[in-house]
Structure 1
Amino acid sequence: MTPVFRLSIFICFIGLFFSCSSPTNDAPEQLPETQLYFPPTNSDDWENYTLNELNWNENELQPLLDFVETRNSKAFIILKDGKIALEWYSEDFNKDKNHTWNSAGKTLVAYTMGIAQEEGFLNINESSQIYLGENWSSMTDAQEKNISIWHHLTMTTGMDYTVEDNSCTNSTDLLYKNEPATFWYYHNAGYRLNLDIIANATETDFTNYFNTKIKNKIGMQGFWLPVGCFNLYFSTARSMARFGLLNLNQGVWDNTTIISDINYLNAMTSRSQNLNQAYGYLWWLNGKNNFKIPQYENTFTGSLIPDAPTDLVAGLGKDDQKLYVVPSQNLVVVRLGDAAGSSTFGPSSFDNELWIRINALTD
């Protein structure tokens, strides 16, 4: 591959396309519209950019790849305008192998929930009891009714996260602690119930509904697999990149609309509450004034990933599974592998260290 420098761009959404302009000392020069490229849904063919075409900094390519490799990565992909600008795999991995997304897969559930709402099966402002049934927890009936689907999507159910296993959905582990929407905590059990809500609302298996509405339509491969209390998604890195590209184009895959509810999509990838400004509907958000992270009650000041673009949104999973989407730069970045350092449940110091090196390549 050859290198490149980054064109400064300002992104404007017009229909399915992004129109780009490059600033000058005078009036901005009007550049042609940049149409996103979409790989075929029925094959693994994918168009590429060379680093030379992108004018990225070739001297920074090897330092980036060395960093990715030494930090236990299995797969690393950068899409620019939908095309593959960089694709790397470790010696024991390749483009056809599957890897768990861990909690980055929560973003798949958020999308599926939006589709179920658009199709009239549910309303996220309704009580989740409508779809989970009475006594789905050990709370009182009033406490159950007071929790909405929105609370499950935003990690604000108020359920007790100090129980022995706060990832399991046994009713005995689902207890009252705070009023909904008054405290944010990364509570996996509260999240996991979203899959049951969707399945019960649509009267079908969650996996079948997801496959029909998203996976098959955008050419993903992969599967959901129960692992302990979790239901984890496994796929190739390219399938994760496909989903990132769908998000980059606001729910439209090439000429196929997967979800047209722009209000839901915007809410999903915007600050959902003030308790953790860096969280939308199961998506992590950069560029906010403060953030919370899994397993901590504390609020930290500043941006989640200081050296990353401020408009970045991300799916972040245990052991540094990463899906980054950057609308202002038409970028999708995927990283799969083992923990890059200490094992964490989402954000980690690896995020910022990686973006410092990505910026060096693309600047």
Structure 2
Amino acid sequence: MKTLRLVPILLFSLSSILSFSQKNSASEKMYFPPNSGNEWETKSISSLGWNSAKQQELVDFLAQKNTKSFIILHNGKIVMENYFDGQTASSPWYWASAGKTLTSFTVGIAEQEGFININNKISDYLGTDWTMETSAQEDQITCKNLLTMTSGIEDSNGDGILRENLLYKADAGKRWSYHNVYVKLQDVVSKATGKSWQNYFSTSLKDKIGMSGAWISKNNNEVYWSDARSMARFGLLALNKGNWNGTLILNQKYFHDATKTSQNINLAYGYLWWLNGKSTYYLPMTQMQFSGSLIPSAPKDMFCALGKNDQKIYVVPSKNLVIIRMGKSANNSNFARSDFDEMLWQKIKAMMN
């Protein structure tokens, strides 16, 4: 009889411990690393109740898939941080199109500071004839069109953003097409603020959250380079909806609009952010609509920054997670989302279960 009574007691105790652990994790205060120095608090896989036996499988997979840097944050603390192929915590790497989200944030800051209005025409800031379109066609294109990839500009001329490459394809707002013309938003911010893009970005965003890195010009396009922890800092800012340790960097109205469906064509796209969990999506370089979620194995509330050759920032509000991947292409060269996203999330889920 004593043994029979002990079983429910032990079960109750184990249940209580697990319940306490889950509540403790849920109520844990969000951590922000200092803006200077190398200090960054960590926590263990086991403290989250994850399967540590699956961690090495994930690490091996990352190494096999040409990864340079990989970081997982939970409530701001580092859970995993791995470097491969000679990369270190201080080595810079390019963000590619994952850096579009930096432009999105900075445009939002410029709007909240009263320098621009994203509903205004690009020509209000850059003057007319910044494209090869007619005046009537060009006059339709707003800052929001560039944020949402709905400029209507021809997308078969590669990444070039010189005037001679900016040709009419459709009326603004009528067609979703992945195009580097969004870079013109950096010119808009520079013209409106009277500062260089580099300077305004640094003082309004980069320096405020302790990021390193710089914009480097390539083919008339500004590409951001930094270490992986700087990318993680930006992901942490996004997880906290534009708030950095009590300091509001970006207002929540703009952030909310940036991370929800921004137009009725590509449901999986916000203001230069990719959105998971939608019923359909489009991909770069195609006008095909695909059914289902962007990354089926990932949480539905996830939003992400996706760059060429598998540069990734995954932000998962429901799990207080930020996940960073930098490196060479995992399989073949790609523009944003790839099969690697799904494969990686299957490995992450196996560890989290």
* TM-score, length basis structure 1: 0.90
- Structure 2 equivalent of residue 179 of structure 1: 171
For the pair 1:283 / 2:273, whether they are aligned, the reply is yes
1:295-320: CA deviation from partner (whole Å, max 9, x where unpaired)? 11111111000000001110000000
Match runs of 1:222-233 below 5 Å? 222-233=213-224
Q: Hey, what's the Cα distance between the residues in 2 that align with 1:201 and 1:168?
A: 23
Contact 2:25 2:48 (8 Å CA) reproduced:
no
Aligned Cα root-mean-square deviation (Å): 1.7
Name the structure 2 match of 1:252: 243
Distance 1:357 1:130, change over 3 A: same
Aligned partner of 1:96: which letter?
S
Alignment match, 1:147: 141
Q: Residues 214 and 225 of structure 2 are in contact (CA less than 8 Å); yes or no, is this contact kept in structure 1?
A: yes
Q: Tell me what 2:326 maps to.
A: 336
| Aligned match for 1:318, one of 291, 308, 316 | 308
- Find the structure with the greater CA-based Rg: 2
Q: Match for residue 201 of structure 1?
A: 192
* Conserved? CA contact 2:299–2:316, under 8 Å: yes
Whole-angstrom CA distance in 2 between matches of 1:361 and 1:280: 29
Aligned equivalents of 2:155 and 2:241: distance in 1? 33
1:98 aligns with 2:92: yes
2:148 partner amino acid: T
1:234 positional shift? 0.2
- Distance in 2 (alpha carbons) for counterparts of 1:31 and 1:63: 25
User: Given the alignment, which residue of 27, 30, 41 partners 1:33?
Assistant: 27
Shift of 1:350: 0.3
Q: How many residues align?
A: 335
1:122 aligns with 2:116: yes
Task: Give the residue type in structure 2 aligned to 1:185.
Answer: S
Which of 215, 219, 225 aligns to 2:210? It is 219
* CA deviation after TM superposition for structure 1 residue 29, in Å: 7.2
Per-residue CA distance 1:171-198 (angstroms, 9 max, x = gap): 111111101111101011x211111111
Q: Deviations over 1:199-223 (max 9, x none)?
A: 1111110110000011101000000
Given candidates 237, 242, 252, the residue that maps to 2:233 is 242
5+ long unaligned stretches in structure 1: 1-22
- Picking from 335, 345, 349, the partner of 2:339 is 349
Residue 299, structure 1, aligned to residue 289, structure 2: yes
Read off the aligned partner of 2:336 and give its amino acid letter.
G
Cα distance in 1, alignment partners of residues 184 and 287 from structure 2: 22
Task: After superposition, give the CA deviation of every residue in 1:129-153 in whole Å (9 maximum; x if it has no partner).
Answer: 1111111111111211111000000
Aligned to 1:73: 67
Q: Secondary structure of the equivalent of 2:202? A: helix
Spell out the pairing of 1:15-30 with structure 2 (5 A cutoff): none
Q: Deviations over 1:240-278 (max 9, x none)?
A: 00000000011111122111x211100100000121010
Q: What percent identity do the matched residue pairs reach?
A: 45
Counterpart code for 2:137:
Q
Q: Tell me which residue corresponds to 1:6.
A: none
Q: 2:155, 2:240 → 1: CA distance?
A: 35
2:45 aligned residue: 51
Letter in 1 for 2:260: S
Report the Cα offset of residue 30 of structure 1.
9.3
* Matched AA of 1:80: H
Cα distance in 1, alignment partners of residues 61 and 161 from structure 2: 38
Q: Does 1:192 align with 2:183?
A: yes
Give, in angstroms, the shift of residue 34 of structure 1.
2.7
AA partner of residue 230 (structure 1): N
CA distance in 2, matches of 1:30, 1:46: 20
Q: Which amino acid aligns with 2:290?
A: F
3-state SS in 1 of match to 2:288: coil
Matching residue's letter, 1:200: K
| Alpha-carbon distance in 1 for matches of 2:58, 2:187 | 41
Whose helix proportion is higher, 1 or 2? 2
One-letter amino acid of the structure 2 residue matched with residue 254 of structure 1: N
Per-residue CA shift, 1:51-75, capped at 9, x if unaligned? 1212210110010000000000000
User: Is the CA contact 2:162–2:220 (under 8 Å) kept in the aligned structure 1?
Assistant: no
Distance 2:76 2:23 in 1: 23
Q: Which residue of 2 aligns with 1:268?
A: 258
Per-residue deviation at 1:32? Answer: 6.6
Distance 2:23 2:332 in 1: 46
* Counterpart secondary structure, 2:62: helix
- Partner SS for 1:157: coil
Tell me how far 1:160 sits from its aligned partner: 1.1
* Distance in 1, Cα, partners of 2:213 & 2:24: 41
Q: Which range is displaced more, 29-38 or 276-285?
A: 29-38
Unaligned residue ranges in structure 2 (runs of 5+): 1-17
How far did 1:229 drift? 2.6
Alpha-carbon distance change, 108 to 31 in structure 1, aligned in 2, over 3 angstroms: closer
Aligned-pair CA distance for 1:46: 0.3
Measured in 1, the distance between the counterparts of 2:337 and 2:124 equals 33
